Structure 1
Amino acid sequence: MVEIARREFQSGKTTDIKFRKANLRGLLHFYQENETELADAVYADLGRIPDETIVAEISLLLRDVKTMLANVEHWSQQKTVGRSLATLLDWPYVRPQPRGLVLILSAWNYPLQLSLLPLSGAIAAGCCAVLKPSELAPATAALLADRLPRYLESSCYPVVCGGVPESQRLLQLRFDHVFFTGSTAVGRLVAAAASQHLTPVTLELGGKSPVYLDDSVNMEYAARRILWGKTVNLGQTCIAPDYLLCTKATEEAFLEAGRRVLHQWFGERPEDSPSLGRMLNKRHFSRVRKLLENSGRVALGGRCFEEALIIEPTVLTDVRAEDPVMEEEIFGPVLPIITVSSADDAIRFINSRTPHALSLYIFSSRRDVKDRFIRETDSGTVMCNDTMYHAIVEQLPFGGVGTSGMGAYHGKHSFDTFSHYKPVLERNYNPVAELCCSVRYPPYEPTKTRLAKLLLKNPAVPDLSAVKYTIVFLLGLLSIYLIRVFAQALGYEDRLPDFLA
Structure 2
Amino acid sequence: MTSTPAFQNVADVEAQARRMHDFFQTGATLQVEYRRQALVKLKSYLKENEERILDALHADLGKAPFEGYATELGIVYDEINTCLKHLSSWARPRRVRTPIVHFHSTSKVYPSPLGVVLVLSPWNYPVQLALVPLVDAIAAGNCVALKPSRTSKATSELLIDLLANVFPPEFVCGFPGSGAMNDWLLEVRWDQIFFTGSPNVGHTIMEAAAKHLTPVVLELGGKSPCIVDETANVKRAAQRIAWGKGINSGQTCVAPDYFLVHEHVADDFVAQLDACFHQYYGQDILACDEWPHMISQRHFERVMGLIENRNPDASVAFGGNGDAATLRIEPTCLRGVTLDDPVMNEEIFGPVLPILTYRSLDQAFDIVRTFEKPLACYVFSDDKQVQHRVLTRLQFGGATVNDVVVHLANNHMGFGGVGNSGMGAYHGKVGFDCFTHYKSTLKKGTWLELPIRNPPFDDKIKLLRMLMR
TM bin, normalised by shorter chain, reads over 0.9
Q: How far did 1:31 drift?
A: 1.4
- Determine helix, strand or coil for the equivalent of 2:397: strand
Selected match of 1:77 from 78, 92, 96: 92
Output one character per residue of 1:192-251: Cα deviation in whole Å (capped at 9) or x when no partner. Answer: 101111000000000100011012122111101112111110000000000000222211
- Determine helix, strand or coil for the equivalent of 1:372: helix
Contact kept? 2:260, 2:356, Cα under 8 Å = yes
For 1:451 and 1:136, the matched residues in 2 are separated by 67
Q: Does 1:8 align with 2:23?
A: yes
For 2:273 and 2:156, the matched residues in 1 are separated by 37
For 2:51 and 2:39, the matched residues in 1 are separated by 20
For 2:353 and 2:101, the matched residues in 1 are separated by 59
Alignment match, 2:425: 408
Q: Which structure 2 residues correspond to residues 224-373 of structure 1 after superposition, within 5 A? A: 224-295=239-310, 296-353=314-371, 355-373=372-390
Output one character per residue of 1:361-414: Cα deviation in whole Å (capped at 9) or x when no partner. Answer: 011111111111111110010110000011110011000000000000011111
For 1:147 and 1:328, the matched residues in 2 are separated by 35
In structure 1, list runs of 5 or more residues that go unmatched: 458-501
Selected match of 1:420 from 410, 422, 437: 437
Q: Which structure 2 residues correspond to residues 130-279 of structure 1 after superposition, within 5 A? A: 130-279=145-294
Q: How far did 1:134 drift?
A: 0.5
For 2:168 and 2:85, the matched residues in 1 are separated by 20
Q: How far did 1:60 drift?
A: 1.1
* TM-score, scaled to structure 1: 0.88
> What letter matches 2:411 in structure 1?
E
Alignment match, 2:4: none
For 2:309 and 2:264, the matched residues in 1 are separated by 25
Contact kept? 1:134, 1:163, Cα under 8 Å = no
In structure 2, list runs of 5 or more residues that go unmatched: 1-15
For 2:173 and 2:158, the matched residues in 1 are separated by 13
The alignment of Structure 1 onto Structure 2 pairs a total of residues equal to 451
Q: How far did 1:418 drift?
A: 0.6
For 1:123 and 1:42, the matched residues in 2 are separated by 24
Alignment match, 1:490: none
> What letter matches 1:201 in structure 2?
V
> What letter matches 2:49 in structure 1?
N
For 1:352 and 1:329, the matched residues in 2 are separated by 14
> What letter matches 1:410 in structure 2?
H
- Determine helix, strand or coil for the equivalent of 2:377: strand
- Determine helix, strand or coil for the equivalent of 1:268: coil
> What letter matches 1:334 in structure 2?
V
Which has the greater radius of gyration? 1
* TM-score, scaled to structure 2: 0.94
Alignment match, 2:467: 455
For 2:462 and 2:261, the matched residues in 1 are separated by 62
Alignment match, 1:384: 401
Alignment match, 2:6: none
Alignment match, 1:481: none
Output one character per residue of 1:277-311: Cα deviation in whole Å (capped at 9) or x when no partner. Answer: 00011111111111111223111211111121111
- Determine helix, strand or coil for the equivalent of 2:437: strand
For 2:400 and 2:103, the matched residues in 1 are separated by 43
Contact kept? 2:97, 2:106, Cα under 8 Å = no
For 1:37 and 1:199, the matched residues in 2 are separated by 36
Q: How far did 1:24 drift?
A: 0.7
Output one character per residue of 1:30-85: Cα deviation in whole Å (capped at 9) or x when no partner. Answer: 11111100111111111212221011111111111111111111100011112323
> What letter matches 1:168 in structure 2?
D
Selected match of 2:137 from 116, 122, 139: 122
For 1:69 and 1:154, the matched residues in 2 are separated by 22
For 1:451 and 1:35, the matched residues in 2 are separated by 68
Q: How far did 1:450 drift?
A: 2.2
Q: How far did 1:424 drift?
A: 0.5
Alignment match, 2:12: none
- Between Structure 1 and Structure 2, the one with more helix by share is 1
Contact kept? 1:181, 1:204, Cα under 8 Å = yes
For 1:182 and 1:259, the matched residues in 2 are separated by 30
Contact kept? 2:108, 2:442, Cα under 8 Å = yes
Q: How far did 1:86 drift?
A: 1.7
> What letter matches 1:317 in structure 2?
R
Q: How far did 1:164 drift?
A: 4.0
For 2:173 and 2:427, the matched residues in 1 are separated by 22
- Determine helix, strand or coil for the equivalent of 1:241: coil
- Determine helix, strand or coil for the equivalent of 1:249: coil
For 2:42 and 2:406, the matched residues in 1 are separated by 25
- Determine helix, strand or coil for the equivalent of 1:298: strand
Identity of aligned residues (%): 41
- Determine helix, strand or coil for the equivalent of 1:325: helix
Q: How far did 1:326 drift?
A: 0.8
Q: How far did 1:155 drift?
A: 2.1
Contact kept? 2:233, 2:380, Cα under 8 Å = no
